[in-house]
Amino acid sequence: MTSVKSPLVARIERFPIAGSFTISRGAKTEAVTVVAEISLGGHAGRGECVPYPRYGETPEATLAAIEAMQEGVARGLTRETLQATMPPCAARNALDCALIDLESKRSAQRAWALLGRPEPTAGTTAYTISLASPEAMAAATVKAAHRPLLKIKLGGEGDPERIAAVRKAAPNSELIVDANEAWTASTLEKNLDACAAAGVTLVEQPLPAGADEMLAQIRRPIAVCADESVHDRTSLERLRDRYDAVNIKLDKTGGITEALALADAAKVLGFDIMVGCMVATSLSMAPAMLLTPLARFVDLDGPLLLSRDRDNGLRYEGSRVFPAEAALWG
């Protein structure tokens, strides 16, 4: 039996973070990504993903999951077939984005035109302040206080002091907060009140996914956004009385195909949209830019947190992020 040579290759890549990046679940000093590349007819399409330990993903397992699709890709795997073949996960994201990039290059169309979407334009991205002591966060915030939108990582005990210190250091910036599931039923209302007092616009995922029912039982003084609680369209219905917005990340949805469908469905249900990212290179950010015309909040600062980005990366001017050139993706 003759084996079919696959046009799919995948690899793990590592990019150092400038300093370290800290959230409630820990710190890291490098972004570990997995890249899928599909070649056909002299063209190559790429997609990048970031395996997330929160969902039991590792770079090695993600690489293996992508490589397990080699025969399917060789036999003409389509994006539509991919959605039915793999569950939403980082591996599917890399493959979905690689297939779109390949189709875009082969058809000489930009990805948004190919997908029937509006062309993304430059927009303002949030810039992340890592979790630390109130004093250290204030010092980091002073350096970023010129940015119009800051995303503040919180982590539980001491959060009211952290957000007060950040607000004092950046009196003119719009603030959004990400608790990364670190709050509890006993601290929820106190922390929300502290954020409201600091003029915070939005709080992401204050309670653990699966234990967030209290959000439907209290008066929420500011908008609350689902992150770990939302993955794809099947997640939405149970969130309607708990959240005001949803954070759409391609590694959760398993690619831009489902991400766009999720955004459309969320809009119909009245949710605001945040387009978010993991700490990754511009190759991860580029397809997510297709969501920005639908988004109230854009959080695509991953490359700004790295010591170096990949070649042909997105252009950033301060907090303004510009859509990808075709040499990068789509």
> What does the pLDDT look like over 90-124, one tens digit per residue?
999 999 999 999 999 999 999 999 999 999 999 99
Of 105, 151, 153, 252, which is the active-site residue?
A: 153
Residues in the chain with pLDDT values less than 50:
1-2
**Dihedral pair phi/psi, residue 2, rounded to 5°:** -80, 130
Is 8-114's fold the same as 123-321's? no
Q: Are 298 and 309 in contact (CB under 8 A)?
A: no
The CA-to-CA distance between both ends of the chain, in Å, stands at 36
Name the residue among 109, 110, 88, 97 with its Cα closest to residue 38.
97
| pLDDT at residue 150, rounded to an integer | 98
pLDDT for 6 equals 79
Query: Is pTM, for the whole model, over 0.75?
Result: yes
| Segments making up each domain of the chain, as ranges | 8-114, 123-321
Q: How many CB atoms lie within 10 A of CB 25?
A: 13
CA atoms within 13 A on the CB side of 55: 22
Residue 200 and residue 151 in contact, taking contact as beta carbons nearer than 8 Å:
no
Q: Residue 227 is encoded by which pair of tokens?
A: 């992150």
Do 88 and 258 meet the contact criterion of CB atoms below 8 Å apart? yes
Q: Is 267 a catalytic residue?
A: no
Exposed (0-12), middle (13-18) or buried (19+): which is 157, by Cβ within 10 Å? exposed
Catalytic: 249? yes
Q: What is the pLDDT of residue 178?
A: 97
Burial of 233 (0-12, 13-18, 19+ CB in 10 A): middle
Neighbours of 161 (CB within 10 A): 15
- Give me the catalytic one of 5, 168, 190, 249: 249
**Whole-number Å distance between alpha carbons of 257 and 38:** 17
The architecture of the domain spanning 8-114 is: 2-Layer Sandwich (3.30)
Domain spanning 123-321: CATH superfamily: Enolase-like C-terminal domain (3.20.20.120)
Question: E strands within the chain?
Answer: 8-23, 26-40, 43-49, 123-124, 127-129, 149-153, 174-178, 202-204, 223-226, 245-248, 272-275, 297-298, 316-317, 320-321
325-to-102, 308, 317, 329 alpha-carbon distances in Å? 14, 18, 15, 7
